Amino acid sequence: MTAGKTRARSGSWARKKTENATVEAEARARVRSDEAAITGTRRSVTTLGATFRAFWRHPSPWMISAVLLTLVPARLAVGDWRTDDAYTPLLWLAFFPVVEWLIHVFVLHWRPKTIGNLTLDTKLAGSHRAHHADPRNVPLVFIPWRSLAYVIIVYNGLSLLAFPRLGQALSFMLSVAAVGLLYEWTHYLIHSDYRPKSRMYKAIWRNHRLHHYKNEHYWFTVTTTATADILLRTYPDPETVQTSPTAKNLHGI
């Protein structure tokens, strides 16, 4: 009798284990299917080298590189190296995911406002709406060069005024330009035909494509994943989020 009960329990445990494995397999298959559905079709397979060469056919990488090539010799010429020259770039790197999130939410996703006959809108926001409407349009992936020129002038000017030492200001300006170039490259790479291979890049790739093809109200970081979005509560489980009807038409405009 005891042996019969043991065999029954063993058989029940084996069936339960098989059922759980089946459920897990089906769940993983649904995740793969859902991800394939939202990420769109890939037009072609390309190499990282070809993608990198194509990146330099657009103006913003050259503009940011010109800033870097100007700032590096300037910083070396000024000298006066101190500990705080390392602090400000490190703080900028640490807080950049939050800065990126804030810019994406409040600048790029700016909703045009009408006051009487006047419409308050920006070139950056309009360009970003066009980018959402057609994520495969490569020129729209990059920061518009006129807006970028304005940003470069303003942030460098403010940096020179904000820091007590010229060397410290130049160190900060260098870090901002370097991260800006990284942002442009990462954003372009995500929207290119290059397929992710590393686990880290695949996570970043998927995070941004969820923002474009699943729901534009979540997953705002571009160069990182599971950072500012977790902190600011815009990193839900994709399985729990409905596909937004306005992901390609921001604000339903």
User: What is the average per-residue pLDDT within 133-155?
Assistant: 94
More confident residue, 56 or 8: 56
Structure tokens at 219: 């997953």
Residue 216 has pLDDT above 60, yes or no: yes
Average pLDDT value for residue range 132-144? 94
pLDDT given at position 12 = 63
Helix (H) and strand (E) counts for the chain? 9, 2
Residue 11 has pLDDT above 80, yes or no: no
Residue 53 above 90 pLDDT? yes
pLDDT of residue 117: 83
pLDDT score at 115 = 87
pLDDT at 27 over 60: no
Q: Work out the average pLDDT over 208-227.
A: 95
Instruction: Inform me whether the pLDDT recorded for 142 exceeds 60.
Output: yes
Query: Could you tell me if 89 and 171 are in contact, meaning their C-beta atoms sit under 8 angstroms apart?
Result: yes
The mean pLDDT value for 104-129 works out to 91
Fill in the amino acid letter for 140. L
Output the average pLDDT for the chain: 87
* Structure-token pair, residue 61: 């990488």
pLDDT at res. 253: 75
Section 212-225 average pLDDT? 96
Of 7 and 168, the one with more pLDDT: 168
pLDDT digits (tens, 9 = 90+) for 174-189: 999 999 999 999 999 9
Model pLDDT, residue 24: 54
For the cut 60, the answer to whether the pLDDT of residue 5 exceeds it is no
Q: Are 235 and 115 in contact (CB under 8 A)?
A: no
Q: What is the mean pLDDT of residues 51-70?
A: 97
Alpha carbons 220 and 14: distance in angstroms, whole number:
44
**pLDDT for res 74:** 96
Nearest to 122, CA basis, from 137, 106, 138: 106
**Over 60: is that where the pLDDT of 43 sits?**
no
Predicted TM-score (pTM) of this structure: 0.82
